Amino acid sequence: MAESRKHELGGIFANLPTDGSPLANPWAQEASPTVPLSTITPEELADLVEPVRVEPVHAPAARADAARGGAAQDAPARVLPKAEHPGVTGWFLLLDTGQQLMIPARSFVAGRRPGESEQGLPTVTIPDPHKTISRVHARFDLIDDQWHATDLGSANGIVTIGEEGTESIVEPGGSTRLVGRFVLGLVGMQFVRIPGVS
């Protein structure tokens, strides 16, 4: 690079600290001659800036192995216990709108805004633009491969729809075995098994 160009570009980097101290506020200093960065070629930049060596970050165990002279190896991925996998039940909740909600466990609490369950169970939020589902509406349990619903004192209860299309209302606090479609508030849904998952 020509000396005149190097001197011209050097003004950009003249105020950069070389001792590791923090950068000073450029507006508090006297302005140095500047060159638009878009006019600097990568080769010119390489002549002006000293390369910095970056050390890779390793997990503590890998760093300890490397310090003892062993090879740093990536730790294998942690395999989640079956109970921690989403959809572990092999089921999802299919809403009449077509939306599918993954079931987090064999027992869970559902509602419009369930937050944390008082029973310490996982929760599922069911979208309800009409707000007919209670904040904490029902508890669902998978028992012997059958879903059971317990109303948790909801305002609009649970309506089950039998195989013949007959409707039954589950009273607040009551429980029932679900055999097909059911309705919370105005939102219809049903449990659907995920193919190939047992």
Can you give the pLDDT at residue 54?
Answer: 46
24 Cα distance to chain centroid? 39
Can you give the pLDDT at residue 86?
Answer: 45
Q: Are 104 and 82 in contact (CB under 8 A)?
A: no
Which CATH fold would you assign to the domain 86-193? Tumour Suppressor Smad4 (2.60.200)
Domain positions in the chain: 3-67, 86-193
Can you give the pLDDT at residue 42?
Answer: 61
How far from 108 is each of 45, 55, 111, 121, 156, CA to CA, in Å?
A: 59, 46, 10, 5, 19
pTM across the whole model = 0.56
What is the pLDDT tens value at each position of the chain, 198 positions in all? 556 655 555 555 555 556 666 555 554 544 445 555 556 566 665 565 555 454 544 444 444 554 555 544 555 555 444 444 444 568 999 999 999 999 999 999 999 999 887 778 999 999 999 999 999 999 999 999 999 999 999 999 999 998 888 999 998 899 999 999 999 999 999 999 988 765
Sheet holding 167-170, edge to edge: 100-102, 91-95, 187-193, 182-184, 158-161, 167-170
